Amino acid sequence: MKVTLNRFSLHGCTNGATTNRAVFLQKLKNISTFVFDVDGVLTDGNILVNETGEALRQFNIKDGYALQLAVKKGYNICIISGGKGKAMEKRFAGLGITDVFLEAGDKTILFKTYLKEKGISSDQVLYMGDDIPDLEVMKLAGIAACPADAVPEIKAVSMYVSPYTGGRTAVRDIIEKVLRAQEQWFDRRPDAADSGK
Amino acid sequence: MKVTLNRFSLHGCTNGATTNRAVFLQKLKNISTFVFDVDGVLTDGNILVNETGEALRQFNIKDGYALQLAVKKGYNICIISGGKGKAMEKRFAGLGITDVFLEAGDKTILFKTYLKEKGISSDQVLYMGDDIPDLEVMKLAGIAACPADAVPEIKAVSMYVSPYTGGRTAVRDIIEKVLRAQEQWFDRRPDAADSGK
Amino acid sequence: MKVTLNRFSLHGCTNGATTNRAVFLQKLKNISTFVFDVDGVLTDGNILVNETGEALRQFNIKDGYALQLAVKKGYNICIISGGKGKAMEKRFAGLGITDVFLEAGDKTILFKTYLKEKGISSDQVLYMGDDIPDLEVMKLAGIAACPADAVPEIKAVSMYVSPYTGGRTAVRDIIEKVLRAQEQWFDRRPDAADSGK
Amino acid sequence: MKVTLNRFSLHGCTNGATTNRAVFLQKLKNISTFVFDVDGVLTDGNILVNETGEALRQFNIKDGYALQLAVKKGYNICIISGGKGKAMEKRFAGLGITDVFLEAGDKTILFKTYLKEKGISSDQVLYMGDDIPDLEVMKLAGIAACPADAVPEIKAVSMYVSPYTGGRTAVRDIIEKVLRAQEQWFDRRPDAADSGK
């Protein structure tokens, strides 16, 4: 596990890796809500454009497993994307995710409204984004996280940079970290019978 | 060839690599049946979701060659997946695989039923999985194996971790190992005329 | 940032890296117009051929973000490709790109005509290509650039070889370099409110 | 350029790299005909299976450029594949390739018949394959070549192992080598006007 703690963190951490790591682990325990961007986070950032102009995306099954588990455990999963498409809607519905905001204009306004309606405070929220449209809104989240291939501007405001890239289990990685910190990941007892299916 | 032998093996092996390798090679000779998960094993774990919500998967032709050869040589090939879709059914039918269980709920029950109906003992079975839904059932197989990019929990119970990733010839690799151990791989005599087509 | 400056540059630079870099940075300030090849530049050079023979391409969302920003800032974006297809047309239209020339025969003639009609001089133009059909026309541009996986012939005439490959943010990289040189990239002031959405 | 010359070559070469390389370069000059397998050679060996069971393949544009050039220069291009599909037929037709044999059973018989009908001797033929169905037939060709990710059995009989993998310009690489050896590659004079479009 590689925990990359950023020197320019906006979260008041000192530069010491030990201190920051302790802060990060503490913050993980507060999270009740995940907000995910789609392109570059839940996908590798590529779209396959078909003859009708529809953009098809690749999703990762290991990410899907973690998302389903988080839903089952009662976490809020919120998707905010500037993109659109029936395919995305179907994928998220299939995973049991209901808070899906596509064709999002200003992500910050959406984010604030969502928290207000849900009655969630910002320190309960982990936001994973990868590119500039996520930059301002990420600063508002309790934990800002990003995939290994996020742009430098996003890494600069992220408390946690996953060793995994977008669409290649970065989402699985961060969900697992939160659920483990809260002893909600399936294998809190290695030999337990809860197989997680 | 990289044989990764796990220190926490459930198979009664000692920690010595030599002993374990000998045990592994001996176990390979017992295998008559392969059980494969689909996503992350026969594929790279990504699905391309189209406008109708159908998940399209990429399969590997080198894996396909080995699967066809194993079928022809009389091995049982069993596919167990939580996924579904016409595309998967067509792919496996095209390879001559008849024991295909999609939309699987509890893989352990399915596995036990399958062995009972076929009259196979567990030490005859090699199971390759990659993620938590495979964890409990893999413990029941004579050989538990996984691709290089399986999750840590699966690697921890696998006797063999392939150097190849899912959908990128991990399946070919393990089939070849079994068939070679049993002198059923095409090139038991390097210059033989059986070209394997 | 890796700036690869070619010893055989056609642009009159000396071999000294410092001098060349200074020349390169100066030239970046002149650019008002980007010309992009499609296959291998805006894509990874692979096409997925479907049953009707249509070639489907993968485009990158981070490239898309940079293209949209450049359009919004008033830069000319010109696409010249020997390929064709409704999917490409739809993708570029969706990004607000209007100067799209598909099924291009001689790229040099097209290029010259385009510059003449737009009233642009060649030193205002950055051309990014990756393969031999781009070779002659690239020599006419103020800056010739290419992705990391361009063919050697193209690298030999490129002033800038991106560290990123085609379809994997090489386009984003070069657009960002130009816009930064001209203080048009979103984060000219790191804490500014212009989130770039 | 990495030229991997195999110690167990079937072509009568001595083991000395210099001698072999000289032999290889000499053999390149005899080639008038290319035979290519599809899966794993002209593609990366993966197929995307859609709902109707059709296998869709990814082809590389840089490979396509070299194939088109070879056709234009009068070389025979012959495709032999065990696979099938309208998409493949359309792709090859689009490149001007007419000798396409899909759903091939015994590749050796097909190969011999093809040479006889065309009046070609085996030393004029370069065959690039990647897997066991190509093994016997490759031994009959003047030059046996393979992509970097061919199976070990194929590498063992290949005079040339490309540094590039299947579907990722291995085909471009070998065509370029032959055409350069015969001074037919576009840039025999670096500044020539024949842009190769």
Each residue of D108-144: pLDDT tens digit? 999 999 999 999 999 999 999 999 999 999 999 999 9
Helix (H, G, I), strand (E, B) or coil at C163: coil
In this complex, which of B56, B61, B88 lies closest to D45 when CB atoms are compared? Answer: B61
Task: Give every CB contact of residue D165 below 8 A, 6+ residues apart in sequence.
Answer: D44, D147, D148, D149
DSSP B105: S
**A131: distance to nearest CA of chain C, Å?**
7
Task: Give every CB contact of residue B145 below 8 A, 6+ residues apart in sequence.
Answer: B126, B127, B128, B158, B159, B160, B161, B162, B174
**Which whole number is the average pLDDT over C84-95?**
92
**Spatial contact of C140 and C122, defined as CB atoms under 8 Å apart:** yes
Out of B12-16, B101-105, C77-81, C103-107, pick the least confident: B12-16
Q: Does B192 touch chain D (CB under 8 A)?
A: no
**A154: distance to nearest CA of chain C, Å?**
11
**Spatial contact of A167 and A138, defined as CB atoms under 8 Å apart:** no
Query: By C-alpha distance, which of A87, C192, C44 is closest to B49?
Result: A87
Per the document, the length of chain A is: 197
User: Using one digit for the tens of pLDDT, what is the confidence trace for C27-50?
Assistant: 999 999 999 999 999 999 999 998
- How far apart CA A98 and CA A114 sit, in angstroms, is 13
Q: Does B53 touch chain A (CB under 8 A)?
A: yes
| pLDDT score, position A187 | 58
Q: Domain boundaries in chain A?
A: 2-180
Out of A16-25, B90-99, B121-130, C58-67, pick the least confident: A16-25
In this complex, which of A49, A82, A83 lies closest to C56 when CB atoms are compared? Answer: A49
| pLDDT score, position D187 | 58
To the nearest 10 degrees (0 to 180), the angle between helices B17-28 and B170-181 is 80
Question: How many Å is the Cα radius of gyration of chain C?
Answer: 16
The residue whose two tokens read 């960002």 is: C176
Helix (H, G, I), strand (E, B) or coil at B175: helix
Amino acid at D113: T
Strand (E) or helix (H) holding C115: helix C107-118
For chain B, the maximum distance between any two Cα atoms, rounded to a whole number of angstroms, is 53
| pLDDT score, position A186 | 83
| pLDDT score, position B186 | 83
User: Using one digit for the tens of pLDDT, what is the confidence trace for C142-190?
Assistant: 999 999 999 999 999 999 999 999 999 999 999 999 999 999 998 544 4
Distance of CA C195 to the CA centre of its chain: 24
Query: By C-alpha distance, which of A104, A49, A152, A120 is closest to C60?
Result: A49
| pLDDT score, position C101 | 97
C54, two tokens: 């249509």
B-proximal residues of D, 109-148, CB under 8 Å: 130-133, 135-137
| Sheet architecture: strand order including A76-80 | A99-101, A76-80, A33-36, A125-128, A143-146, A160-161
C151-179 CB burial, b ≥16 within 10 A, e <16: bebbbbbbbbbbebbbbbbbbbbbbbbbb
| pLDDT score, position D20 | 85
Query: By C-alpha distance, which of D149, D138, D144 is closest to D39?
Result: D149
Are the Cβ atoms of D53 and B186 closer than 8 angstroms?
no
Question: What is the pLDDT of chain A when averaged over all its residues?
Answer: 88
Touching subunits of A (3+ CB pairs, under 8 Å) are: B, C
Query: By C-alpha distance, which of A22, A18, A38 is closest to A166?
Result: A38
| pLDDT score, position B20 | 85
The 3-class SS string of D110-138 reads HHHHHHHHHCCCHHHEEEECCCHHHHHHH
- How far apart CA D72 and CA B174 sit, in angstroms, is 44
C6, two tokens: 């070619």
Query: By C-alpha distance, which of A54, A35, A58 is closest to A45?
Result: A58
Q: Is the pLDDT of residue C197 over 60?
A: no
Q: Where are the beta strands (DSSP E) in chain D?
A: 33-36, 46-49, 55-60, 76-80, 99-101, 125-128, 143-146, 160-161
Per-residue pLDDT band at C19 (split at 50, 70, 90): low
Are the Cβ atoms of C52 and D90 closer than 8 angstroms?
yes
Q: Does D163 touch chain C (CB under 8 A)?
A: no
Backbone angles phi, psi at D89, to 5 degrees: -55, -45
Strand (E) or helix (H) holding B160: strand B160-161
Per-residue pLDDT band at B53 (split at 50, 70, 90): confident
Of the ranges A20-24, B13-17, C4-8, the best mean pLDDT one: A20-24
- How far apart CA D69 and CA D73 sit, in angstroms, is 6
- How far apart CA D87 and CA A178 sit, in angstroms, is 45
The residue whose two tokens read 């596509």 is: A102
- How far apart CA B52 and CA A89 sit, in angstroms, is 10
Distance of CA D58 to the CA centre of its chain: 17
**Spatial contact of B47 and B55, defined as CB atoms under 8 Å apart:** yes
Q: Is the pLDDT of residue C10 over 80?
A: no
**B176: distance to nearest CA of chain A, Å?**
26
**Spatial contact of A166 and A41, defined as CB atoms under 8 Å apart:** yes
Q: Is the pLDDT of residue B175 over 60?
A: yes
pTM over 0.95: no
- How far apart CA B191 and CA B35 sit, in angstroms, is 31
DSSP D165: P
- How far apart CA D128 and CA D169 sit, in angstroms, is 12
CA triple B47-A125-C189, angle to 5 deg: 95
Q: At the topology level of CATH, where does A2-180 sit?
A: Rossmann fold (3.40.50)
Q: Which residues of chain D have pLDDT under 50?
A: 1-17, 188-197
In this complex, which of A61, A167, A197 lies closest to B107 when CB atoms are compared? Answer: A197
| Sheet architecture: strand order including B76-80 | B99-101, B76-80, B33-36, B125-128, B143-146, B160-161
Q: Which residues of chain A have pLDDT under 50?
A: 1-17, 188-197
Are the Cβ atoms of A136 and C193 closer than 8 angstroms?
yes
| pLDDT score, position D19 | 62
Backbone angles phi, psi at D54, to 5 degrees: -70, 140
Neighbours of A161 (CB within 10 A): 21
CA triple B170-D169-D136, angle to 5 deg: 65
User: Using one digit for the tens of pLDDT, what is the confidence trace for A105-163?
Assistant: 899 999 999 999 999 999 999 999 999 999 999 999 999 999 999 999 999 999 999 99
Q: How many CB pairs below 8 Å do chains A and B form together?
A: 71
